[in-house]
Amino acid sequence: MDFLEIIKNRRSVRNFTSQPVDKELIVKLVELATHAPSACNIQGWHFIVVDDEKIKNWLVDEGGSVVIKNAPAGILILYDNRTKNTEYQDHIQSAAAAIENLLLGATYHNLGACWICHLPPKNRVRQIFSIPKHMDPIAYLLLGHKEKISVDMPRKYQVEQMISHNRYNGRVNEKNNQPILWIKKILMKIYYLAPLAIKKGFLNKYIDKKFVKKFKN
């Protein structure tokens, strides 16, 4: 598979076999991630490999995406948050570059992977993983052997619709969903504050059934 094929064949995979991922291969993927660009060449990444079922269940019970349970392995990506460029959040950008390398590396090795930002509140994630304050949890990567062949996901827009020259002339008539978005944000805050017993008892199952978007891959 050449480089262009790797980019175009990358898919977000949420269904995996029970076969474990070789630990040496995970190390190789992380090594690829560290070749990503980072702001001021800080290289402030850290990667926590997760294969403990109790931890995966905890992440889901506390509000993380239910698909976290599906993958035999996961990688929690952290980045040093001590940056002066808070306007453009360059620590998040640096972490995101490494995550894309992980995804492309997984595709090259015929593994399934999925970028997950639907996680418990950062303070809870810090507690369970003993993460110091200067390191931010940025995202979680599902990793495993694909259960089925991934289906194609067409691009929503033509490339010509996403290019402007010298000034923005892209889509301007998108529906204004700001009020709905704010309501969703408030409900999310309320959910995070709910006791764990209530979330595990019925709330998580209800939310997954009624509100969580389902995907083919």
**135-161 pLDDT, tens per residue?**
999 999 999 999 988 888 888 999 999
CATH of domain 3-151: 3.40.109.10
Domain ranges of the chain: 3-151, 179-211
Quickly count: other Cβ atoms within 10 Å of residue 78's Cβ: 23
Q: Model pTM?
A: 0.90
Using CA atoms, how far apart are residues 6 and 126, in angstroms rounded to an integer?
Answer: 34
Please state, in angstroms and rounded to a whole number, the distance separating the CA atoms of residues 175 and 157.
16
Q: Give me the pLDDT at residue 175, please.
A: 65
The reported pLDDT for the residue numbered 174 is: 64
